[in-house]
Structure 1
Amino acid sequence: MEAQMRLIFFFIVMISAATEEIKNLKGIEGGNITLPDPVLELGFISLERKNVAMLDNGNFRMLNKNYTNKLHWDKNTGLFTITRLQRSDSGIYTIDSKEGNIFTTSYKLTVYDPVQTPAVNTVSVSTDSCILLCSVDKAETTLLWYKDEEILNQSSSALSLPLTVHKQDFNSSYRCEASNPAENKTLHVNITTSCRNNADAGGHSPDTQRYYILTGVIMAIVFVVVLAFLVHTVKKKFHKKSETITSQAQGRIRISEPRHTIY
């Protein structure tokens, strides 16, 4: 009978272990994470079923040297904190309390890269619209454009995300958000600075500006060529007129010369 009870207890433990909920935790590389279940008397913390540290009558003992000065225990709260997180710290951590409040809890920790604050640049401005581009350097980020509290556009794992703002919406509030599952960074956009002033000042897109510059250069070249042609023509006419006047003067001189009589 005792053997049967042990077998039943063993199966109950196995079933409870199989159905144990693993809670998710998210951390940022370089940051800290505190596991929310305290151990005050006797217990262990393990990573992937390998003990990292233990607690015995309030005495904290490190078992894995890789976590020296990295894993800390607060004697007042009984909480474990992992500091200076790295991507390699991701994994399943288990807290096992053996005395007092007895429990076993597992956490799946995922460490992410820090989120970069997005940058917003003006791509082009016309009289009735403005195109803005929100961008980051790392692709493991979700970009979102907000108008007031409404999501207008979003893209996962993208380096940039454009948005067209129409003139009738220039008075609305816009912001671009870069996020991952662990954190987010937001940049608010001043539409007056980015769009309206440029539009009122007759701002143009880079392609339009290049067109105007090229047109100006061509017109300058044409003007110089025409001016050179006119100068050359005037000089030629002046030179021809001078030659005509000289020839006429020489002819009058020959006519006015006295004839010599031979005796």
Structure 2
Amino acid sequence: IQTDAALRHRYTDDLRTPPNTARKVKNLTGTEGGSITLPDPVVKQGFLLFGGKNVAMVINGNSMIYEGTLKDKVLWDKSTGLFTITGLQRNDSGIYVIDSKTGRVFTTTYQLTVYGESYFLPLVIIFYQFLPVIMVPQMSSDLYSLMSVSTESCILLCWVEKAEGTTLLWYKDEEIVNQSSSALSLPLTVLKQDFNSSYRCVSANPAENKTAPVNVSTTCSGQISTSKSDSSVFIFSVKHSVGVFD
């Protein structure tokens, strides 16, 4: 009967001949701060490799995580045999290999791409009766709309702080009316006769979509008071007003 130490030595020796990664690669995507579970299990004995280096090993149904950048981020589920990588960061992108040595013997290669989480910062400039009113919404969710308004039309602006791999889209009801995969911001002009339609801004990358609905009929209706002065500054969120300043 081989001891765990002998098995470790035996299977570590196997790593001197890396698994063939020239076969078809499965693409996986994740988002910064999230987690990803590799869908092929190592139930009894095998390895998880990252960038050609062994980061975890399963021996006799027990896991051992090696020192390195993934030391505190790799989890192995004994009941399913699946590896999960937690606390994803951009530098976790790369080639991962599952190399199962017993039971269902296989080698699977994954290309993981970790996308930065998109952050939307709200800024609203409203032109009401041609007098500018600067409106700075407070953060209230993960995704925001940036809006500016005039009496006969409403200019909506979605502004993303991090946009690598991100597409911005404006929807009117279920129709895409503007989109860009290269800009940090995306404007949309809404005419007064369309104020009752449904609008939303969507930030999309291969890992996730985020949506910010905009109640145009309320936001662009011209019901914002400018009675205190022509240069009133309103601080509010997309959802509700939280303050007025001279």
For residues 244-255 of structure 1, the aligned pairs below 5 Å read none
Percent identity, please: 59
TM-score, with structure 2 as normaliser:
0.70
Partner of 1:77, secondary structure, is coil
Alpha-carbon contact 2:117-2:162 (below 8 Å) kept: no
In structure 1, the gaps of 5 or more residues are 1-15, 204-208, 211-263
User: Any runs of at least 4 consecutive aligned residues in structure 1 with deviations exceeding 6 A, and if so which?
Assistant: 200-203
Q: Does 1:108 align with 2:122?
A: no
Partner of 2:69, secondary structure, is helix
Q: Does 1:147 align with 2:172?
A: yes
Alpha-carbon contact 2:30-2:114 (below 8 Å) kept: yes
Q: CA shift at 1:51, angstroms? A: 1.1
Q: Does 1:55 align with 2:58?
A: yes
Q: Residue 108 of structure 1 aligns to which amino acid in structure 2?
A: Q
Q: CA shift at 1:190, angstroms? A: 0.4
Change (3 A) 1:18 1:133: closer
Q: CA shift at 1:201, angstroms? A: 7.9
Q: Does 1:37 align with 2:40?
A: yes
Alpha-carbon contact 2:21-2:109 (below 8 Å) kept: no
Partner of 2:125: none
- How far apart are the structure 2 equivalents of 1:110 and 1:72? 19
Among 191, 196, 213, the alignment partner of 1:188 is: 213
Q: Residue 80 of structure 1 aligns to which amino acid in structure 2?
A: F
Partner of 2:26: 23
Alpha-carbon contact 1:41-1:56 (below 8 Å) kept: yes
TM-score, with structure 1 as normaliser:
0.65
Partner of 1:122: 147
- How far apart are the structure 2 equivalents of 1:94 and 1:32? 17
Once the two structures are superposed, residues 55-101 of structure 1 have per-residue CA deviations (whole angstroms, 9 ceiling, x without a partner) of 11112122344322211110000000111111111110000111111
Partner of 1:132: 156
Partner of 1:119, secondary structure, is coil
Partner of 1:154, secondary structure, is strand
Larger radius of gyration between Structure 1 and Structure 2: 1
Structure with greater proportional strand content: 2
RMSD: 2.3
